[in-house]
Structure 1
Amino acid sequence: MTPTSTLLLAFSLSSDAFAASVSKGACVRRLRFVVALQTGLLFGLVEATTPIIGWLLGTSAYDTIAHWDHWIIFFLLLALGGKMIHSGLAPAPKDCASCDCGTTSDRTRWWLIIATAITTSLDAMAVGVGLAFMNANIWVTALAIGGATTLMATLGMLLGRRLGKTVGPRAEIIGGLVLIAIGATTLYHHLLA
């Protein structure tokens, strides 16, 4: 993978964490930078770990499916991108039932954030499987994904109060389109070779 495609992949995978952080930030009455950064680091750590797990799974199955790897990458990114676009187009909840709104304890709030981070990182695990077939440097890619997610989730928390829940879905749509474009490009280059 080129540095540009690695960065595009990293920021497209961070878009769902950004959307979730914007929603959470919109619900916090008084947000301190430290809390936003802690949230971003948590999202980034989880998002950097899951592609490595996927890569390990994909590497173990590489010999079995090496002839179809380009199709697997394409359909995997097409499905993930489509899911992100669908999620971005879905109507946002009108109440605060999906966030804490100051009604839960700090411990419960952090467990909710951890659960959200794991949920939003499942697509990165699937991408990790695809990266095993591309012979990409998983360590550099995971670091880029974790860094981009940390940055985007921290910004999402900080911007949540101002932006509300309107920007988050658009970020998911853009991220989904980028994933589909990366999958199509991979398929195109493999079929030309």
Structure 2
Amino acid sequence: MYFFEMLLSAVSLSMDALAASLGIGACLGAATGGAAALRVAGACGGFQFAMPLAGWFLGSRFLVFISGYDHWVAFGLLALVGGNMIRESFKPEDPACPPSDPSCGIALLTVAVATSIDALAVGVSFAAVGAPVMVLASWSGAITAFACFGGVLAGFRVGQLLGRKVEFAGGLVLCLIGANILRVHLMG
């Protein structure tokens, strides 16, 4: 695969994670922007690096088992996290009980996995055509990490300006990413 095609593939794989990072950043509380940006960048970049490798190593045998429902898994994970963000946006502000942080724990893990499932499929396709996957995995991981870091910081700034409305919008964006993944797979 040529340099430009490899770079374009890596950038394309990072777009879902970037959109999710913007939403996550918009939902963050007062002074957690920088640390959250590092966590999201590390998790999403790490999964975008690992998933093509996993797909390549497991090869086409694995695709037979997951191709029937991979889009449902991604949709379900993103809808779960996005739906929770939407629900949180309607709760009244309570200083004693801050809203959950989507840049930590299971919420971050589900976003990182859901936005990198397509990278798993790309890794399988690389194995099918005998293409080397390490360059794609490295670029995809690095580009995703940088994009997510900037996305969380940008989302954080917008969230500070617009308040809880952005949390709703961020949750809606995650749900729409999941719905788009489902639409693409179901429409062929």
CA distance in 2, matches of 1:133, 1:24: 31
Question: Relative to structure 1, is the Cα distance of residues 133 and 9 closer, same or farther in structure 2, using a 3 angstrom cutoff?
Answer: closer
2:180 maps to what in 1?
181
Comparing 158-167 and 176-185, the one that deviates more? 176-185
Comparing 170-179 and 12-21, the one that deviates more? 12-21
1:157 maps to what in 2?
156
CA distance in 2, matches of 1:179, 1:9: 14
Report if the CA contact (8 A) 1:55-1:125 is conserved.
no
Report if the CA contact (8 A) 1:39-1:153 is conserved.
yes
Contiguous gaps of at least 5 residues in structure 1: 29-34, 101-111
One-letter amino acid matched to 1:143:
A
Q: How far did 1:170 drift?
A: 1.0
Question: Relative to structure 1, is the Cα distance of residues 144 and 179 closer, same or farther in structure 2, using a 3 angstrom cutoff?
Answer: farther
Report if the CA contact (8 A) 1:89-1:169 is conserved.
yes
Question: Relative to structure 1, is the Cα distance of residues 42 and 183 closer, same or farther in structure 2, using a 3 angstrom cutoff?
Answer: same
1:103-118 equivalences under 5 Å are 116=104
TM-score, normalized by length of structure 1?
A: 0.64
1:59-74 equivalences under 5 Å are 59-74=56-71
Figure out how many residues of one structure are paired with residues of the other and give that number. Answer: 170
1:127-138 equivalences under 5 Å are 127-135=115-123, 137-138=136-137
**Is the counterpart of residue 80 in structure 1 residue 68 in structure 2?**
no
CA distance in 1, matches of 2:86, 2:9: 25
2:49 maps to what in 1?
52
In structure 2, the residue corresponding to 1:175 is in which secondary structure?
Answer: helix
